[in-house]
Amino acid sequence: MAGHPGLSHTAAMILQALDAGCLYGFSLMEATGLPSGTVYPALRRLERDELIRSSWEKQSIADAEQRPPRRYYKLTAAGRNALTASRKRYPLLTRMLPERETEPA
């Protein structure tokens, strides 16, 4: 999609949290403080608009750690551009959410 000047604050928060290293639904909820009924539909919307993309973790990695595989979300190039624009629009965004953490394998 061409340009996303109309990103809501919620969407911007989720993009910022993703950029900060919260890469799956529950951690996004924890970081943003938003309820599940807001975070997951927002993720679907962002994915539909090609601002993020998702992928399932490999079963072998999850098995080794004795936990179910996670569905990870990642910013796309368009999502990164939208986030940059959103940071100008919502200057407190970077202060609200922690700095970038480590990327998953």
Partner 1 sequence: MMTRLDILILRAAARLVPAGERREWLAEWLTELWYALHEGRRAGVTAFCLGAFRDALWKRRNAPIARYSSLSLRARPSVPEPPEIRCAPVIESPLCCLGALGCLATLALFLSWLSPVSLPSGGRLFLALLPLSVIYSLVLVFTGNALPGEYPRHRNWAGRWSFFLAKVTLLLLVIALSASAVPIAEFRIDAALISTAGAVRWAMMDQRRRCPVCLRMLDNPVRMGNHSRILLEWNGTELLCLRGHGVMHVPERPAIWFSRQRWLSFVP
Residues that bind partner 1 (CB under 8 A): 5-6, 24-26, 29-30, 35-41, 44-45, 48, 67-71
Detail the DSSP E strand segments found in the chain.
52-56, 71-75
Q: What angle do CA 52, 57, 63 make, to 5 degrees?
A: 160
Is 41 or 100 the residue whose CB approaches partner 1 more closely? 41
- CB 14, min distance to partner 1, A: 14
Place of tokens 């340009």: 3
- 3-class state of residue 31 by DSSP: helix
- CB 56, min distance to partner 1, A: 8
Is 44 or 53 the residue whose CB approaches partner 1 more closely? 44
- CB 37, min distance to partner 1, A: 3
Both structure tokens of 3: 């340009």
Is 3 or 91 the residue whose CB approaches partner 1 more closely? 3
- CB 5, min distance to partner 1, A: 7
User: From CA 48, how far away is CA 90, in angstroms rounded?
Assistant: 23
